[in-house]
Homo-oligomer: A and B are copies of this chain.
Amino acid sequence: MDNKLHRIKVTELQDRVVSADEAASWIKDGMTLGLSGFTRAGDAKAIPYALVRRAETEQFKVNVFTGASLGSDVDKLMAEAGIVHKRLPFQADPAMRRKINNGDIMFVDHHLSQTAEWIRAGVIEPIDFAVIEALEITEDGMIIPTTSVGNSSVFVKHAKNVIIEINLSQPELFRGVHDIYEPGKQGQRSPIPLTGVNDRIGTIGIPVDLEKVKGIVFTDQADSPSTILPSDEETETMAGHLLDFLRAEVASGRLTNQLAPLQSGIGSVANAVLHGLVDSEFHDMEVYSEVLQDAVFDLIDAGKVKVASASSITLSKEKMAQVFGDFEKYRDKILLRPQEITNHPGLIRRLGLISINTALEFDIYGNVNSTHVSGTRMMNGIGGSGDFARNARLSIFVTKSIAKEGIISSVVPFVSHVDHTEHDVDIVVTEQGYADLRGLAPRERVPVIIENCVHPMYREQMRAYYAEALLRGGQTPHVLEKAFSWHANLATNGSMLLSE
């Protein structure tokens, strides 16, 4: 018997091992796939690759639903092969982004906590094949996921068929780290019993109806590492402003030095800001996030974070070698959950998270654009930022005040796309400073944002816009016909700086 078959502990499933090409051949034009994978972690790899190979000689398209973004170039290769019709709820690949912005791929940009509800209720296309990366199949018929959970459990429960990719290169010590909980149908559910970050409320694996397991494929390809950039002077300055804000909250008595469970979005800026806590006075912190990046493990190593819950672990190459190579050390401090639990509005509010996410741009009233360059071209998607921002104790957005050496101001009169409204944004931070918008009327927000967050090269221009808007009056003064003039000037003249 092949040695790796011990990963399939249900004996009757052992003869369902097939090649990736054979499994991929079952997937037909027009079908809908539910792929494991969340922020480059734990993605199904072999079947998507086999589909891309098949596309060399055959025309077909499938809908691709996932947890969040995929790694291992899966989105890139599928996009380039032209086999994706609809994609949801999040992606972060440049090649796929181009196809989306050309209108070749229909991208449904969805709150990460909500896709599970759509699948459970039968709102979107039913899943023909769930393709799930796993460490093993247990004796009692549970799929043990790898480095992410994402939407895998809801895909498995509702798919007509399941294909399992057992990845031999993933760290076996992840067994026991997962906590799989299924809320049940809306209207028939009990309260989700989680009241603390480290509460275990579910099972260590995903229960699967064995009848539905159509095939099992063995793979050994590691997750692709994250590509986050190291801190730079500006991200460190932003981290400093954020620490100042948190210290003010402690001084006011609203927080203690243990803070509150932290959520930090994907990306370099959020990672750098979180890293800024390593040398701070804050201690015994908890992380309740959707993804754990390098900084969380630095905080654990520094003895600052005692427990971290998320839906995936996404690390740089060096950090991955260190953390996965010595995982026994981290094992009892980590929980991986379905994304509808990590991002659940009720739990975010119950725990009272401090939520830190990245903005593409924000405006003088505190509306945030997280997704669309100049209001039209998709970057990655809203991801979980809406789940967190709406319900967090503190909803914080960070961005550098300018981009591309100043031709773009990240603070604008009117954001060109709204992902987070004025009602959902508490604090905005740039390298210039932070603006605390809580309890401020729109007219009170403007001067704080201009003086604390706008880059000096754009301040005068912003004051002029607002002065003109004030002549028009209103709760939220605007000069509508000039609201997007900065974006229009960027398109026409290559800069948001208006000439006199």
Contact = CB atoms under 8 A, between A and B. Distances in A.
Nearest to A347: B346
Given A186-B352, A252-B122, A421 B423 contact: no
Contact of A423 (B107, B110, B125, B187): B110
A417 B476 contact: yes
Interface string A101-112: 111001111110
A483 B482 CA distance: 11
A28 interface: no
Output the residue of A103, A117, A473 with the most chain B CB within 10 A.
Answer: A103
A382 interface: yes
Looking at A106, A118, A470, A480, the one whose CB has the most chain B CB atoms below 10 A away is: A480
A400 interface: no
B252 A191 contact: no
Nearest to A192: B191
A187 B260 contact: yes
Interface in A129-159: none
A478 B190 contact: no
A105 to B, nearest CB: 8
A476 B375 contact: yes
A346 to B, nearest CB: 2
A123 B440 CA distance: 11
B195 A190 contact: yes
Contacts of A473: 101-103, 376-377
A319 interface: no
A344 B348 CA distance: 12
Interface string A391-427: 1010000000000000000000000111111110000
B191 A351 contact: no
A474 interface: yes
Interface of A: 86, 88, 100-103, 106-111, 117-118, 121-125, 185-187, 189-193, 195, 252-254, 260-261, 344-347, 349-352, 367, 372, 374-378, 382, 386, 390-391, 393, 416-423, 438-441, 443-444, 469-470, 472-478, 480-481, 483-485, 487-488, 491
7 contacts: A86-B439, A106-B441, A123-B438, A346-B347, A367-B418, A375-B480, A376-B474
